[in-house]
Structure formats: structure tokens, C-alpha cells
């Protein structure tokens, strides 16, 4: 009996250790992907993201939120940045981008009524840029329809065969000063070197 109890205790301890190690690996892969100041709040999600499992990527999302982003009285309301660090060459067209963001916000809000509309801007050597809008019913904060302006930057890391896709959101017009804050959040110069360790 004592032997069985010892085995059970060891199994629980071993499982907990593996989980803690896995969480540490996920944290390490995202801790420096985006450069922000100390007032921004970070969250990490692992693909497939629980509310948008249909986005069948392997990797992580690092989201960064400025102070006041969840307050309706703040100029930063619903203004934030996130980056997808995913395996393979992803988000290669307007169609793919629109489909991914519709799935994402449909799942986040629990309502299948998201409208996405994007155009592709000029590409640089390693980057593709998109600009557009995402409209949905804000089931989290205002309980009203909301429209976010969006800038998207996709960088393909050829040597590591992965994509870094940076999304910048705000309901403010692109000429509003809040975009000065959002656009200061940039990828680390060595972001392509970060490994993806999210095997379950």
C-alpha cells in the first residue's frame, strides 16, 4: 500500500514538474518578442488558442496592453498589440488574414458576426503589410458594436521557417496620437531566433 501511495505521489510531482517546465518554456519564447515600456501588461496564449481553435497554427501569441486599454474613459480603450510567432509561412494573403481575424474575434466574443476588411500595402524585402478594419459586437466591455482600425506587419523568418505577424489595434483614427504609442511597440531585432516550444 505504501508503495502504491509513493508511486502516486511521484506521478503527481513529475506531472507538475513537466507542466511547470512547459510553462517556463512558453514564457521564455515570448518574453522579449515585443519591445514595450514597463506600463504595458503582457499575456501569452498557445496555439490552438482556446477560443479560436479553428486557427490551426503551431506557436504562441504574445499580447501587450497599454495602461487604460480596458477603460471606456481612456484614450487607450481597446488599443493594443499582439504578435503571432508561428511555424511555417503563414498569413500570405488578404483572404487568409481576414479569415483568421474573423475566426479570432468570433471566438473571443462568442458571436459569429465579425466583419473584416483589409488591403495589402507595399512589401519590403522580408515584410508584408496590411491595413484594414475589424468590426464586431463587443461582448466583453461595451455590449455595443465596435470597429477597430488595424495595421498588420508579417515577417517571414526563412532560416527558422516561421512567421512573425504583428497586429496593432485601436478604434481611434490612424491620425490620433494613440497610434504614436502603439507604433512604438516593435519586434525585437532577434525575434526570428526565438524557438517555439509548445508541444503538449
The three three-digit cell numbers of residue 115, written as one number: 466583419
| CATH value at residue 134 | 3.40.1000
Residue 161 lies in a domain: yes
> CA 117, CA 68: separation in Å to the nearest integer?
27
Residue 198 lies in a domain: no
* 106-161 pLDDT per residue, tens: 999 999 999 999 999 977 777 999 999 999 999 999 999 999 999 999 999 999 99
What Å distances lie between residue 39 and 1, 32, 35, 152, CA to CA? 53, 15, 12, 23
Residue 152 lies in a domain: yes
Residue 65 lies in a domain: yes
DSSP readout, 15-82? HHHHHHHHHHHHHHHHTTSEE--TT-EEEEEESSPTT-TTS---EEEEEEE-TTTT-TTSTTTT-EEE
* 11-39 pLDDT per residue, tens: 434 333 433 443 443 444 445 799 998 89
Residue 74 lies in a domain: yes
Summary mean pLDDT of the chain? 86
| Residue 109 confidence (pLDDT) | 98
Q: Which domain holds residue 165?
A: 2-193
Residue 200 lies in a domain: no
Q: Which among 188, 197, 189 is positioned nearest to 32, based on CA atoms?
A: 188
The pTM score is: 0.83
**Number of domains within the chain:** 1
Which of 43-57, 119-133, 159-173 shows the lowest mean pLDDT across its residues? 119-133
Amino acid at each position: 500500500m505504501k508503495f502504491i501511495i509513493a508511486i502516486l505521489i511521484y506521478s503527481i510531482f513529475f506531472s507538475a514538474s513537466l507542466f511547470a517546465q512547459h510553462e517556463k518554456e512558453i514564457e521564455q519564447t515570448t518574453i522579449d518578442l515585443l519591445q514595450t515600456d514597463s506600463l504595458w501588461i503582457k499575456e501569452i496564449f498557445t496555439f490552438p488558442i482556446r477560443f479560436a481553435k479553428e486557427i490551426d497554427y503551431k506557436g504562441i501569441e504574445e499580447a501587450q496592453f497599454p495602461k487604460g486599454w480596458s477603460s471606456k474613459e481612456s484614450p487607450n480603450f481597446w488599443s493594443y498589440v499582439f504578435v503571432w510567432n508561428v511555424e511555417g509561412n503563414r498569413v500570405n494573403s488578404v483572404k487568409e488574414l481576414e479569415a483568421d481575424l474573423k475566426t479570432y474575434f468570433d471566438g473571443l466574443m462568442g458571436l459569429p458576426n465579425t466583419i473584416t476588411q483589409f488591403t495589402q500595402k507595399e512589401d519590403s524585402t522580408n515584410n508584408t503589410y496590411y491595413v484594414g478594419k475589424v468590426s464586431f459586437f463587443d461582448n466583453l466591455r461595451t455590449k455595443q458594436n465596435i470597429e477597430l482600425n488595424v495595421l498588420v506587419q508579417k515577417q517571414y523568418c526563412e532560416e527558422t521557417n516561421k512567421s512573425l505577424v504583428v497586429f496593432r489595434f485601436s478604434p481611434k483614427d490612424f491620425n490620433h496620437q494613440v497610434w504614436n504609442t502603439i507604433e512604438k511597440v516593435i519586434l525585437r531585432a532577434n525575434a526570428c531566433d526565438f524557438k517555439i516550444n509548445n508541444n503538449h
